[in-house]
Chains A and B, each alone.
Chain A
Amino acid sequence: MTQSDPPIPTPMPVPLVAAAAWVVPGLGHVLIGEHRRGVIVGVTLLSLFIGGLLVGGVDVIDRRQDTLWFAGQALIGPLALVVDQVHSYFDADGSPAPPQAGQPMPAYEVSVGRVNELGTLYCTLAGVLNLLVILDVIGRCTQPAEPAESQSSDERLAAQENARS
């Protein structure tokens, strides 16, 4: 790539595409025409994040106690902020005590040990991978126009299939 290479013209401004990729993982690729890539990335990242929540419970998203981990988790989008707000709402009266016989069930159960570690890891890796996705979609918006790269992979595949038939 040289300084004089013009970027590929995209119908949407790059900051908007990057913001869309943060709000909904994979949406940035969909907006620039990479539909299949965007769907694969989005479904995978949301599955990882929701999988982490299923494994470790809402306790794995905690902005106040796990600030550094949350910094990575927040990269998945507003979903992490919403989950943190839910966690904060449950914690309004302090973290729940371990369940005991005769006591009402706590709002949620604090996760510990490997389950907490893996749940936190799932959610954080989903966020950090979404940062890569955002950088990738920015790169695809601003890469130099080349004949072979000017089409999305879906369009190239369709052209190849048409040529075969």
Chain B
Amino acid sequence: MIMPLLTYLPTALAWRPFLDPLDFHELWYLLLPPLVFGISLVYKALKLPTLERIWLDTTRLAAYILVLISLAAVALFGIVEYF
């Protein structure tokens, strides 16, 4: 976890925003939680009649999705490796 971050620093210094892609090839999975949270937030913003509990409901939905994605990844890993 630490080493990819350390190797990422020098390339980040030469990064031109919007022109160059981020060097996240080793850390791509860190980009999933913000994406899932954004999808959950838009869904809950449209679905809830009032927005009092939107942050709690969004966090809960995002957590469910991430747990299910992780379980699916473990199951697929098992199928690929052992079957």
Contact = CB atoms under 8 A, between A and B. Distances in A.
Interface of A: 36-37, 40-41, 44-45, 47-48, 51, 53-59, 107-109, 111-116, 118-119, 121-122, 125-126, 129, 132-133, 136, 153, 156-157
Contact of B18 (A37, A53, A132, A156): A53
Nearest first, the 6 closest Cβ-Cβ pairs linking A and B are A111-B21, A114-B28, A108-B19, A109-B20, A57-B21, A115-B21
Nearest to B32: A118
By secondary structure, the B interface counts as loop
By secondary structure, the A interface counts as helix
Which of B23, B45, B50 is the most central at the interface, judged by chain A CB atoms within 10 Å of its CB? B45
A109 B45 contact: no
Given A40-B54, A44-B38, A58-B19, A114 B45 contact: no
Contacts of A113: 25
Interface size class of B (residues with CB under 8 A): 20 to 34
25 contacts: A36-B51, A37-B45, A41-B45, A44-B38, A44-B45, A47-B38, A48-B35, A53-B18, A55-B21, A55-B31, A57-B19, A57-B21, A108-B19, A109-B16, A114-B24, A115-B22, A115-B23, A118-B24, A118-B35, A125-B35, A136-B46, A153-B48, A153-B50, A153-B51, A156-B50
